[in-house]
Amino acid sequence: MAAGGERFDASAAEATADAAAEASADAPFYVAATSGPSRRRLTIKHNDAFAVLDTNGDIDAAANGADGLYEGDTRFLSQLRLRIYDEEPLLLGYCVNDDSFNVDIDLANPDVRRDGRIVLSKDTLHIARTVFMQNSGLHTRIAVTNHGHQAVACELALHFDSDFSDLFEVRGRVRPRRGKRLRRLDGRARVLFAYEGLDGGVRETSLAFWPEPNSLHKSAATYALKLAPGRSATVVITAACRGPAEASPSTFVQRLIAARRARRNAIRELPAIETSNAALNETINRSLADFYMLLSDTEQGPYPHAGIPWFSATFGRDGLIAAMQMLWLDPRIARGVLKRLAHFQATTFDPAADAEPGKILHEMRSGEMAALREVPFGRYYGSVDSTPLFVMLAGEYAARTGDYGFVGEIWPSVERALRWIDEHGDCDGDGFVEYAGDRGQGLSNQGWKDSHDSIFHADGHLARGPIALVEVQGYVYAAKHHAAACARALGRASDAAALEACAERLRERFEAAFWDDELGTYVLALDGDKRPCRVRTSNAGHALFTGIADVSRARRTARTLLGPAFFSGWGVRTLAIGEARYNPMSYHNGSIWPHDNALIAAGLRRYAMGAELLPIFNGLTEAAARMDQRRLPELFCGFPRRRGQSPTLYPVACSPQAWASATIFQLLQSLLGLSFDPGAREIVLNDPQLPRSIARISVRNLRLGTARAGFTLAREDATARLIETSGDLAVRLNGSVAS
């Protein structure tokens, strides 16, 4: 996960402390869920700013804690509510555009009563609301049209506020002290909010209105509209996190056009994917739009923020895995992720940030609480897997592109990461990479399942560190093999041989320590006493993804993961039914994570189990078809699939989320058996599998260097037809070149 698992400190002498700590909702970094929202929440983002609003287009933090306009882990706008005749408008419908860029909302007036009688019937006024983000600004246009047969005089009011809450306050942290809030009117059409933080920083929000309101106060703007039959009136509002806001109909349209053009240009050169399944096409398009919405431009290149609302920031693990998932589609993402993480690689020891030389970043925050170290996440390195995943991605990028020039540029960072793996990563010298738990105030569990209760023994007792996770050993194994291939290409033959030998020794130790024949899978972890955590978890599937697993044991693990204790019908659960801490509504102990399933499916493909991955593909794509906007969330509940029902949502899941958005693309790669051979100038399709829901799939504009090709694959005859080519590039299906 991105970050947010609770901190847990329990006495080894008192087992009951485990349960007491679990019951506490005051644990640091817990994402609170006091009540469910009355309406669905919609999210839009551009670069580092994002907004969470309801389906009416309102921002109302009083009704739901996540609502707001955010930048730099600060909420710059906590309220922007539209009222007509002091009443909440009726929702007719809403639409998040296909490119996930703007939201269009249709509203109507309710019945308006005065002195006990209706003076305006419902649905007389149509209110069209369009909202989008550009840079640090939230832009809203409200058009009110009178569809009645008589002239209407009405009052339209906009109520607004800015609390400048730090994101961790929004998530539930209580602060004993805060800075000073200020607000003032700036003329007749602008309001300014400011916050002088305890960190010495000044944060400002500017609100601008067009036309000038009939009445403007520090918390509300009011318009007195007079509309003849068939006539309309327009109001434009801009909220800016930086600099003075400006609002007018012409600038609204110009910004909308320019921003949408920039979004289209960002994805114009990407491969185009089309299938015979209309619902799947919608999922693909939404996932693509969401992923590129989550991208932020950084000094080092494009970087996918982990997820909205809680993790819209640079996260190491999330960025690395998302870049792997998208690698076949867009290698630029991997390049940006690698450059940024290399730039912020730790160079010194900092126990408060869990930093050690060579370690790769876990999380980077820029809010007031991070600056004051009220939370440790300013630059925080508390993940055990980001460092091997960094090396792994560097190797996979080279294998996909053949761009060893870039790998040479970041090679010093790769070498530092490898040294961390062998030295600080193996804190007890047993040959496995483990974590001892955070030494500051951060995360006590430091794998992707970073909840405090996610690593435990068969009887339910929490494991004590140092903890060696099953998936992390796989990441290290893959990292060393990838590093060996890169070293050989860079003329470092002796380094390559040493890395390969080290990887093979790890594989042998891994099989001896982690395999459990009775469970029919690999154990979750080894604790600090080297006792195995004999628990059936989805983590074992990552051993297949990385290739560390023995072939026969990989097949047994696959059967276990696809059995009824794990597979819900929608996907593979994080924890098998029957385990001590199984809960289908938990964050990590029985829920379903799309990205986790995508990695498992990739592992099945690696071990030539293409047909076995079809249930995962079918389950997740059918789940997406039943989700709002065809969008896979960060996770959903692990209840068994029930006929005629949709998946059960998890209440505080990020949506969209980078590696959930990228899931469909990794699944498609696994489905097609798609890989690249830069040396032979070939795109390779090995034993592709198309489920019954897909009769045909076409991929166009698939690039390798400056060359490109496209193909169509049909299920009925299992043939691939070349549909475009440019440059020296071929498509090979099961050993034969497509024509």
pLDDT tens figures, 286-310: 999 999 999 999 999 999 999 998 8
Query: Same topology for domains 16-26+269-672 and 41-264, yes or no?
Result: no
Cα 259 to Cα 129, 419, 458: the distances in Å are 18, 44, 53
Show Cβ contacts of residue 235 under 8 Å, excluding neighbours closer than 6 positions. 141, 142, 144, 156, 158, 209, 210, 211, 223
Using the predicted structure, report yes or no on whether residue 5 has a pLDDT greater than 80: no
Whether 30 has a pLDDT exceeding 80, the answer reads: no
**Which residues on adjacent β-strands are paired with residue 146?**
125
C-alpha to C-alpha distance for 133 and 42, rounded to whole angstroms: 12
pLDDT at 21: 40
Phi-psi sector, 487: left (phi>0), alpha (psi -120 to 50), beta: alpha
Region 394-409: mean pLDDT is 97
**Which residue, chain included where needed, has tokens 């925050």?**
365
All structural domains of the chain with their residue ranges: 16-26+269-672, 41-264, 682-737
Q: Which residues pair with 220 in a beta bridge?
A: 159
Query: What end-to-end distance do the CA atoms of the chain give, in Å?
Result: 43
Q: Which residues lie across from 314 on neighbouring strands?
A: 364
Closest CA to 140 of 47, 221, 214: 221
Q: Are 470 and 546 in contact (CB under 8 A)?
A: no
For residue 466, cis peptide bond before it (omega within 30 degrees of 0): yes
Other residues' Cβ atoms within 10 Å of the Cβ of residue 488: 16
Query: Cα(519)–Cα(326) distance, rounded to whole angstroms?
Result: 33
Question: What contacts 657, CB < 8 A, 6 or more positions away?
Answer: 294, 306, 307, 308, 311, 633, 634
Q: Is 60 helix (H, G, I), strand (E, B) or coil?
A: strand
Tell me the pLDDT of the chain averaged across its residues.
91
Q: pLDDT, tens digit, for every residue of 422-448?
A: 999 998 899 999 998 756 578 889 999
Q: Is the pLDDT confidence value at 116 over 90?
A: no
Query: What type of residue sits at position 640?
Result: P
Q: What is the pLDDT of residue 651?
A: 87
Section 624-647 average pLDDT: 94
**Which of 238-242, 593-597, 707-711, 718-722 shows the highest mean pLDDT?**
593-597
Q: Which amino acid type is present at position 385?
A: D
d(CA 309, CA 66): 7
For domain 41-264, the question of CATH label 2.70.98.40 is answered with yes
pLDDT at 12 over 60: no
What's the confidence (pLDDT) of residue 23? Answer: 41
| Residue 103: strand pairing partners | 96, 131
Q: Are strands 682-685 and 730-733 parallel, antiparallel or unpaired?
A: parallel
Task: Count other C-beta atoms under 10 Å from residue 381's C-beta.
Answer: 26
User: If you average pLDDT over residues 641-650, what whole number do you get?
Assistant: 93
List C-alpha distances in Å: 406 to 324, 478, 729: 16, 20, 22
Dist CA 556 CA 693 (whole Å): 27
Mean pLDDT along residues 201-205: 95
Q: Which amino acid is at 126?
A: H
**pLDDT, tens digit, 9 for 90 and up, residues 216-244:** 999 999 999 999 999 999 999 999 998 88
Q: Which two tokens stand for residue 282?
A: 């919608």
CA–CA gap between residue 396 and residue 331 (Å, rounded): 10
Question: What does the alpha-carbon distance between residue 674 and residue 635 come to, in Å, rounded to a whole number?
Answer: 26
Report phi then psi at 85, rounded to 5: 55, 35
Question: 628 near 653, Cβ under 8 Å?
Answer: no
Residues 6+ apart with CB under 8 A from 124: 108, 109, 146, 147, 148, 152
Residue 226: CB partners within 8 Å, gap ≥ 6? 151, 152, 153
Query: Of 3, 550, 546, which Cα lies nearest the Cα of 305?
Result: 3
Written as six digits, the tokens of 187 are 């003329």
Q: What is the mean pLDDT of residues 37-59?
A: 89
According to DSSP, the residues that pair with 205 across neighbouring strands are: 193
What is the CATH code of the structural domain delimited by 16-26+269-672? 1.50.10.10
Residues contacting 11, CB < 8 A, separation 6+:
17
Predicted confidence (pLDDT) per residue in 537-591, tens digit: 999 999 999 999 999 999 999 999 999 999 999 999 999 999 999 999 999 999 9
Averaged over 352-379, what is the pLDDT? 94
Nearest CA-CA partner of 107 in 145, 61, 139:
145
CA–CA–CA angle 300, 301, 306 (5° rounding) = 100
